[in-house]
Chain A
Amino acid sequence: MSLAKPAMRGLLGKRLRFHLPIAFALSLVAAAAFKYGVTEPRKQAYADFYKQYDATKEFNNMRDAGVFESVRPTGE
């Protein structure tokens, strides 16, 4: 009936040596995934939107739809 003596010391160090690299790696992966999955597409979407954006045309469309209080639709 002789069991091996269990590990008495270095438990926290062992745990950290195992878990910290994994934690760092996963965090980096999460950051990279968010950057290339969310922020880059969003920046591209905004760039594309404003490349073809005609502010005056949009303003006139909105004005004719009647959403402004400062200007009435053309022809009123």
Chain B
Amino acid sequence: MLFSFRMLATRALSLVGKRAISTSICLRGGHGVAKVDDYALPAYFDRRENPLPDVQFVTELSAVQKSLKEKEKGSWATLSNEEKIALYRISFKQSFAEMNEGTKEWKSVIAGMFFFIGMTGLVVLWQRKFVYGPVPPTFESEWKEKEVQRMLDMRINPVEGFSAKWDYENKEWKK
């Protein structure tokens, strides 16, 4: 008798999966029970990692569905295949195959990628023109020629690398 009021509310919840209980004020002891909002109640969602949600999908059963639920209490061998599927759809919104199927989102993702890469390219071009100063003198061709000659004189990587490709006898690159 003491906990009958509170128990009643939760029993009603689990039986029918009712989501919306508007203000229910328990008048025992002269204080009220807080209004329960939709988001605070157990919710239904299709997730692969949570295969059995807290509530069934269909909250308000039609007459046909109610009678089907009554039939479910008996032997399941008497249920036809369509009835079994109907019972499944009462409890669940999407099957695993439906919830796992891919979307076409990747196309938008790729499109966004290309767009932003393009924007970045424009920004880089603008930077080259308006922000950066001239390149150091070490990039001029005369400087680079002297640099290469010095590297060959020092015999940089003479076995497999740089100087290995230079023909010292004929003073030209090896064919």
Contacts and interface: CB of A to CB of B under 8 A. Distances in A.
Partners in one complex: yes
**For chain A, what secondary structure do more than half of its interface residues adopt (helix, strand, loop), or is it mixed?**
helix
Given A42-B160, A45-B160, A67-B150, A58 B155 contact: yes
**For chain B, what secondary structure do more than half of its interface residues adopt (helix, strand, loop), or is it mixed?**
loop
A1 B153 contact: no
Given A45-B160, A46-B159, A49-B159, A62 B154 contact: yes
Given A46-B159, A49-B159, A58-B155, 17 more contacts: A1-B81, A1-B84, A42-B160, A45-B159, A45-B160, A46-B160, A49-B158, A49-B164, A61-B168, A62-B153, A62-B154, A62-B155, A65-B153, A66-B153, A67-B150, A67-B153, A67-B154
Interface of B: 81, 84, 150, 153-155, 158-160, 164, 168
Interface of A: 1, 42, 45-46, 49, 58, 61-62, 65-67
